[in-house]
Structure 1
């Protein structure tokens, strides 16, 4: 181990606490609904913070600070796009999805909701949406495991292979045992830790570089264009970065938090809490990467690890500037970001395999106890596949996340958004939207057309497909009545 014991001890205590929460949640997990959605019992604070923590993942403390460190403020367009997208998701989707899922067969998963909302007797909509979840979430899970491996590799001097397993083990443990409640409760702790780290670290970096004026002069001396929001960007480049915000409408691990809220009344307060947390965290992230430019230009002898991999900028600043005990807490924030998102993704994959394949097609009469244990087995299976995908040490966190984020945003985003606001959407429209969105992302990514982020054409083409195909048919009377009842419920209780 290349660091002093306090950092290691802090990590061990933190991981033990998360696993303990998992065992506490285990006592409240009696059926599949508890394991997948916590029995729809989350209050506004837990809904807000768990949605934020599950969203941000390791890229918040590694990928984005690294991008800002390398390119300056021009990379912050992504943060602006995310804030706008998250707010619109809370405003238009959160409350409506909560009531729509309840009115459509008390759906526990997105494929379950799509199947009930559009009366899909063939099972095709459920199968295709579950396959999309498994494909893109396995890639997303791999990004979290890469981020955890980088953390353990940098902090404890482990080999990448050993760090890979060390980083994944704790998350798998508490997700396996406690399910959704464990994930949501730990997310709340992890969100608190993340905001503490992202508010404290830039302040200490500022002090270490001589204050605001000195820091800004040092950044300008290194490269004046670091302050230029339009540096090396084009209109397409800015649109691509802002386009990340479109992804929120289709992320199953975030949408699950809306579905699990205890009532629609909790959503408005949860939105305020979540958006405040998000703006502060993203501001801190940008500041860490930006102020890091000044610190490492003034201390080039310490810049080696960051020069080798710019995604280590937060890790190196925490190790250099803080007492080992505090550094341990701050570095635990990266682990928190990784664990919070990875655990949600493992659980969503598990729920897709258990609810949408095993229960629906293989064992319709399976008991609740059996389904919970199948869910746990699926957590292990998906985790092992993700670890295999993450085994390449050349992987970059932000690259893996961007592909998976685009996949979900384009395949599910238009379907979810339009399904909760337009009563005339049909089953074939939903099917066309998912297929067109997913295929567009894969093809666009492969050919890198115009340099435009693949989520944007994917979202546009999927939305058009939904509208055009839905207009060729008509919703059933049952679909219209359930939609009207859910919308009335939403308006009455929001």
Structure 2
């Protein structure tokens, strides 16, 4: 084994070891389902903020986005612009109210404060849904979309190992899912959150270092002359084929579809879990500042990475290699040991999202399936072990999708992101601010939004041919369904009192803050 292979192998092994050690460290602190799903709601501002980033910005940030800009030019930057707006809006509009509501809403089945641990249980308690329809439908949607989301991370892990070690992608997928399952299985939410902090720092530092290394390398190349400085990156604004124009980037479909990605933040359960797990609503403003600052700078750096790739590689990468422009730059620019650390940051991006998603999907099976419909009085420790078993089952199903499909990372992420944003974004936002919203409105909005996101790509490719991202019709029709279906239900006295109590506590929190 030469140094080019040994160094990444050693850094990856060290990284894996740290993640597993954290899992074992947290293992003894996980004694009930609240600990396993939400860490007992003990996250401080720094951990909550950075964990939200790491769980959100998966391989899409380090592989998918740079690859899209590398191929198609700066016009793809509408997606990170939309995401930045949406991320800030989710912290400002959703985080505090959701944190309060998930504790204060009356339990729909037993009365008293609910302490809702999942998005599905929140919806059930918010709308006093004793029949469990909201919980069942939302749990099914969560499981379906997370299978594709987790699969996208495993595809990224497989591609990374294939590029670095020459290992077959299928072998790499099995290895990656094994490590992720191990520390998620052991430590649950706290293990995931603590590892997220490390992973977020690694990802941001790698995104900063690689463009700097590229600029230095280009500047020192005598064949490039005065054109080899930072200005060389501007040559990448048109993408690999140079066909991008300003009119392309300002086209209505491009702008609307790109910005629509931002609405997805209002409905991503793995990010909403960080809002629910934060220590206190008073910690939300600081966490939001930390989180949004990291997100905006990281996405900007990811775009710069793509431009650096166009400027650096005199022989362009093949189209099917575009999503790996970041690791290709790392291997070309850094010595093996530095490259190993930087490549581990890509692995961190993959794992930090996959573990969070596995945990939320596991929660859907455990809290919203087994406990809600099969054994309400299950013991705390038995629920923890059911949750751990669910992690394994979901990981195996996602690995099967990753092993059997040939979709790109961007396609898989885009499908899942639109699904969550359409199914849950409008419903969650309206539920937090409209006192008169009913169970019927929530159920209609969730089903219509989720089904639209599922079917839109098929219909658009074969019939409509608009090129519009599924989030746009999904969100629009979800809002329409909420309005149309809402009169079919009623607001109970308990629902009204819960809403008023939460609204009053939220206002007090704002005054104190």
In structure 2, the partner of 1:185 is 194
Cα distance between partner residues in 2 of 1:368 and 1:114 = 22
Matched, 1:490 2:506: yes
**CA deviation profile, 1:41-73 (whole Å, cap 9, x unmatched):** 000001100001111111100000000100110
> Which residue of the other structure, out of 432, 435, 439, is the alignment partner of 2:451?
439
1:113 to 122, 127, 131: 122
Contact 2:440 2:488 in 1 (8 A): no
**Runs of at least 5 residues in structure 2 that lack an aligned partner in the other structure:** 106-113, 220-228
Contact conserved, 2:233 with 2:307, CA < 8 A, in 1? no
Partner of 2:109: none
**Alpha-carbon distance in 2 for matches of 1:201, 1:53:** 19
Match of 1:363? Answer: 375
Q: 2: CA distance between counterparts of 1:84 and 1:236?
A: 18
C-alpha change, 1:357 and 1:291, in structure 2 (3 Å) is: same
Aligned to 1:318: 330
Q: Which residue of 1 aligns with 2:286?
A: 269
Structure 2 equivalent of residue 140 of structure 1: 149
In structure 1, what is the equivalent of residue 487 of structure 2? 471
Q: How far apart, in 1, do the equivalents of 2:46 and 2:280 lie? A: 13
Give the distance between the partners of 2:446 and 2:241, measured in 1 at CA: 44
In the TM superposition, residue 216 of structure 1 has moved relative to its aligned partner by 3.0
Q: 1:453 aligns with which of 450, 453, 469?
A: 469
SS of residue matched to 1:231: helix
Structure 1 pair 454/223, CA: closer, same or farther in 2 (3 Å)? Answer: closer
Preserved CA contact (<8 Å) 1:209 1:215: no
Offset of residue 471 of structure 1: 3.4
Q: Where does residue 50 of structure 2 map in the other structure?
A: 49
Aligned to 1:100: 101
1:219–1:291 Cα contact (<8 Å) kept: no
Q: TM-score with structure 1 length normalisation?
A: 0.96
Deviation at 1:440, TM superposition (A): 1.1
Question: Per the alignment, do residues 463 and 393 of structure 1 end up closer, same or farther by CA in structure 2, a change over 3 Å counting?
Answer: closer
Deviation for aligned residue 1:405: 0.4
The 3-state SS of whatever aligns with 2:73 is helix
What does 1:212-361 correspond to in 2, within 5 Å? 212-216=230-234, 228-231=245-248, 234-297=251-314, 300=315, 303-304=316-317, 306-361=318-373
Conservation of the 8 A alpha-carbon contact between 1:160 and 1:393? no
Gaps of 5+ in 1: none
Question: How far has the Cα of 1:395 moved from its partner?
Answer: 2.3
Using the TM superposition, give the Cα deviation of residue 360 of structure 1 relative to its aligned residue in structure 2, in angstroms. 1.3
Query: TM-score under structure 2 normalisation?
Result: 0.92
Q: Aligned residue for 2:79?
A: 78
C-alpha separation between the residues in 2 aligned to 1:364 and 1:203? 56
Change (3 A) 1:232 1:492: closer
- What is the DSSP-based 3-state SS (H/G/I as helix, E as strand, rest coil) of the residue aligned with 2:257? helix
Q: Does 1:384 align with 2:385?
A: no
Could you tell me how far 1:234 is from its partner in structure 2? 2.5
Q: Distance in 1 between matches of 2:182 and 2:84?
A: 32
CA contact (8 A) 2:71 2:239 kept: no
Kindly state the Cα deviation for residue 221 of structure 1 after the two structures are TM-superposed. 11
- Report what 1:198 is aligned to: 207
| Distance in structure 2 (CA, Å) of the matches to 1:425 and 1:371 | 32
How far apart are the structure 2 equivalents of 1:8 and 1:148? 14
Q: Secondary structure at 1:248's aligned position in 2?
A: helix
Measured in 2, the distance between the counterparts of 1:24 and 1:420 equals 36
Asked if the contact 1:219–1:294 (Cα under 8 Å) also holds between the matched residues in 2, the reply is no
Deviation at 1:217, TM superposition (A): 5.0
Residue matched to 2:159: 150
User: Offset of 1:7 from its aligned partner?
Assistant: 1.4
**How many pairs align?**
488
RMSD: 1.6
Distance 1:65 1:214 in 2: 17
